[in-house]
Amino acid sequence: MHANAHEALCSYQLYLVTFFVCRDSNLQHLSVLELSDSKTCTPVNKYTSGPQTIVELFFQDVARKRLSQIFARYGAAQTPSPLSWTQLITDITIYLLQHLWPGNPDFLFPQCLMRSCQYTQLQEYVCLLQPWCQVSAGSCLFMLGQCYLVTGEGHKALDCFSKAANEVEREDFLEKLIHVEEEDSACSARLQYYNKVLRLLEGAGLPELVIDLATLALTEAADDLKSQATLRTRIFKYYLDLGHNSQAYDALTLIPDHSRQLDCLRQLVIILCERSQLQDLVNFPYVNLQSEVVNIIEARARAVDLMTHNYYELLYAFHIHRHNYRKAGTVMFEYGMRLGREVRTLVGLQKQVNAYLACLNCLRLIRPEYAWIVQPAPGAVCERSGTSPKRNHEGESVPIPSGCQVEILELRDLEKEYILSHSRLTMAKHNNAAAVTVNASAEDMVPLLVQAGLFDAAISLCQTFKLSFIPVFEGLAYKCITLQNGSDATQADGWKWLAENQQSSVVTTKESSATDEAWRLLTFYLEKYPSQNLQYHRCVIDKLLSHGIPLPSWLSIIYKKEDAAQLLRLYLKYDLLAEAAELVLEYVDAVMGKGHENFGIERPLSAVSPLVWLPYTPIDHLLKTLRDNSNSQLNKDLLEILTDKLDEYFTVLGSTTTHFLSLHRN
C-alpha cells in the first residue's frame, strides 16, 4: 500500500513538471556563463501561432538537433532504402522523454529553459524537484540562484550559489560551467566556480554580494596567493565603490601582491580626492605604505593644474597629521614656487604668500639645526626616471650630470621669499594690473612700491634684503613735494597712500592736510631708521633742493648739527647763495661761541678748547661765486657781510693762536 502511494506521488510530481506557460526575458547574464548557443535571443514562437508549453519549447530546441544527427548518420550510411519516418519519430520521442526525465544527469531540460530565459518557469520547475529529486542537486541550486538573480532577490541567489559550490566537481553541468580558462588554469575547481559567479554578480550590479562571495572564496584560496590578491582586489574595489572607505583600506592592506596593492593605493588616493573625502585619506595609518602614498600624491600634485586640484595642501595635511613638519614645509615651499611660475594672478599671489607662511610656521616648530629644506639649484639639470635621453643637433646623446645640484634654504632664506612675495601681493592689491610683477626681484620691487606710495612694504623689503633705504626716502620726499604743490585731487590721492603707511603715526585732525601728514611720515621714518652720517637726511635734502623746495626748519636744524659743511656744499650745488651765506655766518658765530650747540660744537674757539675749524674750501667757493655775480646788489651785500664776518673770525683766531702758543711755551 505504501509503495503504491509513493509511486502515485512520484507520478503526480512528474505530471506537475510537464506543463508551464512560457514567457520571454533577456539574455544579458548568459554571456557571463557562456552557455548560450547564440549572441542574441531568437523568439521561440517564430513558427507557431499562439502560446507554447515548455515541453513544446524543449521539443523544438532538442528535436531539431536530434533530426540533424539522424539525417547526418543516414547520409553517411549511404543505404538505398528510404528513411523510416516511424523509426525517426520513435527515436526523437525516446530521446525527448529521456531528457525530460528529472533524474537524467545530462540536465538538458533546465539548460533549455535558461537558454530561453524562462526564469519564472525554471524557478517553479526547480522548486518542484528539490523536495524529492537529488540528481543534479547542485545544478538545480545554481539554476535557482540564477532565477533569484533575475527577479532581484540577490541574497537568496547568493545563498543558492554558495550551496551549489559543494557539488562543483560532482556534476557535469557545473563542470561545464567552470571550463578552464587560461587565467584560471591554476585555480581549484571550486575557486573557478566562485570566479564565474563573481562575474555574474558583477554583471548584475550587486557589489555587496560580490564582497560577500569574494570573502567566502578566500577560504578556498588559502594557499593560492595569486587568487588571494585577485579576490582581495575585488573586495577593495567594491568597498571603495560603496563608499566604505575604512573597509576598503583594510582590504587594501591585506593584498599579498605588492604591485596590485600599489595600484589599489593609487586608486584609493585619487578617488577619495575626487570625492573630497580628505579626512579619511589623511587619517589612514598606511603601515609600511607611507612613502608610496607620498609618491602618489606628489606625482598627482606635479601633474595637474594648481587651480583645479590642490594636492599640495593634501600632502601638507598628510605630513602635519604625522608631525613631520620639515616635509610639510618642503611641500608648501614647492607649492609656492610653482604658483609663482604658473599662476600669475592676484589669487595666485595670495596662495603663494599663504604657502610660504605655512612653510615658515612648519620650520619654526622644529629644532633650529633641522630647520632647512632642499630644493634644486637654479639652472640645475636632474635626471628623472622615464624621460627620454636628450640629444644634440647631430643626434648624439647628451650626457646628464650624475647628481642633481641642490641648494639648502634656511629660515632666513625662506623669510626673504615670504617678504618678497608679500610685497608683490601688496603691490598687486594696490593695483591689480601689477600682478605681472610676480617674478620681480627685490631690487625691482622697491621702486614700484615707492611709486605706489607703499613705503612700509618697501622699507620691510629693504630691511630683509639689506638694501639701501635711499630710494624710499627720495620717493617719500618727492611725494611731499608733489602734495605741497598739488591740487585738491592730488591731496585726495595723498590720503589714500598715506592710509597704507604707519597708521599709528598718522594723527589726522581737521586742521591737518595730506601734505602735513606726509611731512610727518617723513619725519617719523627719519627718526625710526637712523643712518650713518645722516645719509638719509642728506638724500632728502638733495631731493628737496633739486626741486627748489626750501628746507623745513626741522630738517636743516638736524643736518647742520651733524654736517654743516655738507649742507653748505648742497646749497652751493643748487646755487642757493643766500642760504649758503646765512649758513656760513651762523657757523662762524658758532665757532666763536654764539650758538655753538646748534652745530654740534661742544666748546667754541679758545686757547684751551679742542681744535675747531671752518670748511674753507666751500667758503672760498661761495666767496668766488659772489664776486663773479657782484652785479646783483644782493650778492654785493652778502659778500660784504660775509667778508666782515670772516675778518672778525680771523682776528679772534689770531689772538686765540697767540694765547695758545704762550701757554705752551710756559
- The residue written with cell numbers 651785500 in the block is 637
pLDDT, one tens digit per residue, over 264-280 is: 999 999 999 999 999 99
Closest by alpha carbon to 569, among 554, 561, 555, 579?
579
pLDDT, one tens digit per residue, over 94-103 is: 777 666 666 6
Please tell me the predicted confidence (pLDDT) of residue 38.
42
Is 431 in a helix, a strand, or coil? coil
CA distance 142 to 145: 5
- The answer, yes or no, to whether residue 158 has pLDDT greater than 70, is yes
pLDDT, one tens digit per residue, over 39-62 is: 444 444 444 443 456 667 776 777
**Cell (9 digits) for 139:** 545544478
Closest by alpha carbon to 488, among 519, 515, 461?
515
**Neighbour-count burial of 131, counting CB atoms closer than 10 A to its CB (0-12 exposed, 13-18 middle, 19+ buried):** exposed
Element (H, E) at 409: strand 406-410
CA distance 126 to 142: 10
Contact assessment for residue 605 and residue 567, using Cβ atoms and an 8 Å cutoff:
no
- The answer, yes or no, to whether residue 480 has pLDDT greater than 90, is yes
Kindly list the domain boundaries of the chain, sorted by start residue. Answer: 221-319, 489-665
Please tell me the predicted confidence (pLDDT) of residue 503.
54
CA distance 278 to 291: 18
pLDDT, one tens digit per residue, over 381-417 is: 555 444 455 555 555 665 555 556 788 999 999 999 9
R_g over Cα of the chain: 50
CA distance 225 to 239: 21
Please tell me the predicted confidence (pLDDT) of residue 47.
45
Please tell me the predicted confidence (pLDDT) of residue 298.
94
Closest by alpha carbon to 525, among 449, 441, 460?
460
What are the distances in angstroms from CA 529 to CA 9, 469, 526?
Answer: 114, 9, 6
Q: Kindly compute the dihedral angle of the four CA atoms of residues 59, 63, 65, 69, in this order, to the nearest 10 degrees.
A: 160
The dihedral through the CA atoms of 195, 200, 205, 209 has a sign that is: negative
- Concatenating the DSSP letter of every residue in 40-102 gives SPPPTTTT-SS--BHHHHHHHHHHHHHHHHHHHHHHHHT-SSPP-HHHHHHHHHHHHHHHHST
Indicate the range of 86-100, 395-409, 566-580 predicted with least confidence.
395-409
- The residue written with cell numbers 607703499 in the block is 454
Within 13 Å, how many C-alpha atoms sit on residue 399's CB side?
3
- pTM: predicted TM-score of the whole model, two decimal places: 0.75
